[in-house]
């Protein structure tokens, strides 16, 4: 008998029946005895010519499988890790215009994350940027960071930067709204824009200066850059505040919460309740309507709460982390959509105004806007934010 050929007898059919099967695969080289056919007919076993095509096994990633098991067997929860990209590149030259609390913290975080080979800090206050740069270099003896920092007062130091983060400008004081800063900070933006346009024409610009959406518009106009090159950092900060509020209300860790905030960086902020999740479940599983509304209010007023407590300035640490999140998306260290303020061109039915929306970013800045499905009230909130920004700019 040739190799691979089987003789199928009645005992094989009986074995198939014992295993609870009703189908037996018969390969082209198999020999089926008359007794086997008779036994199959008696036991209700169908002899099927093979090979039988098997359905592909559905594969689920380990994190999802673990979450499903925990849902079924235990109230405990393990939050999935945020997606990271192992193919991240390093920014060659990162320029920070403004070396105050936000700028200094961005420099610290970027150096520790190896986000840039070189960090240049620029500030009009004599010695401030140089002192922060020296401090960062001193810290490398402990952190072993390979990033080197330098600082000065001259805006020409922005030359050759791949990414420029603008934090310079007057901060809020108690009683001030972000809109109150438009006139004074517009002059700061125009001065920095001229230097960026002439010295770093290929740079991606991240605006942090308040009022953020309006100053991002001013940066676009003053540089003449395409919308892809000029981003506003607000949505990452506002989303962080929203996640923190939800976590506190639900008594869970912030790692258990996914939520995004769109719209303007101000009173017209639009926390997207319909897409928010706690432990991968809708908010109403954990919170009632009153608690959710309180979390929305907390996100909108979060910056003002810091100003009221500090009295002489605004938040510094959270905005720095939020800025680094955009930098990480630009250099490919993180993937997926991230909220950023960009000039809209028909997305969500809005054009000609800067607004916080979900964006895909890359080395050249904006790649695309992701139009997430939103409720009608959330779309209305985006429209209201757009009209408010136009009004404040006198358009």
Task: Write down the catalytic residue from 12, 58, 138, 265.
Answer: 265
Nearest to 261 by CA among 173, 357, 154: 357
Decide: helix, strand or coil at residue 277: strand
Decide: helix, strand or coil at residue 302: helix
- The beta strands (E) that lie in the chain are given as 7-8, 23-26, 31-32, 46-49, 91-97, 116-122, 148-152, 163-166, 204-207, 230-232, 257-258, 261-263, 269-271, 277-278, 281-282, 338-345, 351-362, 365-369
Active site residue 329: no
Decide: helix, strand or coil at residue 351: strand
CB proximity list for 186: less than 8 A, separation 6 or greater: 214, 215, 218
Residue 69, judged by CB atoms within 10 A of its CB (0-12, 13-18, 19+), counts as exposed
CA dihedral 360, 361, 366, 370 (to 10 degrees): 10
Cite the active site residues: 265
């Amino acid at each position: 008998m040739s190799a691979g050929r089987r003789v199928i007898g009645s005992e094989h059919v009986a074995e198939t029946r014992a295993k609870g099967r009703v189908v037996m695969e018969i390969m082209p080289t198999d020999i089926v005895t008359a007794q086997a056919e008779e036994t199959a007919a008696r036991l209700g076993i169908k002899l099927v010519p093979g090979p039988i095509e098997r359905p592909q096994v559905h594969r689920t990633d380990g994190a999802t499988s673990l979450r499903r098991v925990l849902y079924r067997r235990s109230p405990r929860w393990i939050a999935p890790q945020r997606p990271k990209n192992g193919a991240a590149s390093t920014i060659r030259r990162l320029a920070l215009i403004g070396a105050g609390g936000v700028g200094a913290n961005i420099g610290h975080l970027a150096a520790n994350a190896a986000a840039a080979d070189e960090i240049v800090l620029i500030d009009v206050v004599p010695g401030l940027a140089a002192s922060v740069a020296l401090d960062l270099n001193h810290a490398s003896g402990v952190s072993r960071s390979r990033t080197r920092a330098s600082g000065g007062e001259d805006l020409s130091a922005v030359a050759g930067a791949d990414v420029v983060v603008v934090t310079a400008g007057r901060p809020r004081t108690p009683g001030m709204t972000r809109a109150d800063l438009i006139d004074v900070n517009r002059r700061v933006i125009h001065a920095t824009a001229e230097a960026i346009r002439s010295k770093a024409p290929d740079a991606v610009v991240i605006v942090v200066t308040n009022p953020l959406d309006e100053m991002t518009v001013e940066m676009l106009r003053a540089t003449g850059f395409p919308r892809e090159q000029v981003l506003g950092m607000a949505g990452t900060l506002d989303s962080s505040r929203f996640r923190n509020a939800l976590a506190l209300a639900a008594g869970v860790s912030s790692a258990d919460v996914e939520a995004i905030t769109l719209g303007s960086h101000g009173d017209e902020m639009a926390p997207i309740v319909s897409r928010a999740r706690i432990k991968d479940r809708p908010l109403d599983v954990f919170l009632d309507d009153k608690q959710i509304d309180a979390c929305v209010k907390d996100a909108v007023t979060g910056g003002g709460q810091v100003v009221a407590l500090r009295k002489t300035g605004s938040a510094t640490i959270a905005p720095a982390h939020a800025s680094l999140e955009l930098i990480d998306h630009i250099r490919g260290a993180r993937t997926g959509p991230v909220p950023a303020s960009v000039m809209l061109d028909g997305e969500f039915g809005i054009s000609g105004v800067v607004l916080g929306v979900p964006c895909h970013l890359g080395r050249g800045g904006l790649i695309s806007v992701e139009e997430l499905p939103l409720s009608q009230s959330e779309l209305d909130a985006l429209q209201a934010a757009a009209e408010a920004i136009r009004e404040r700019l006198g358009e």
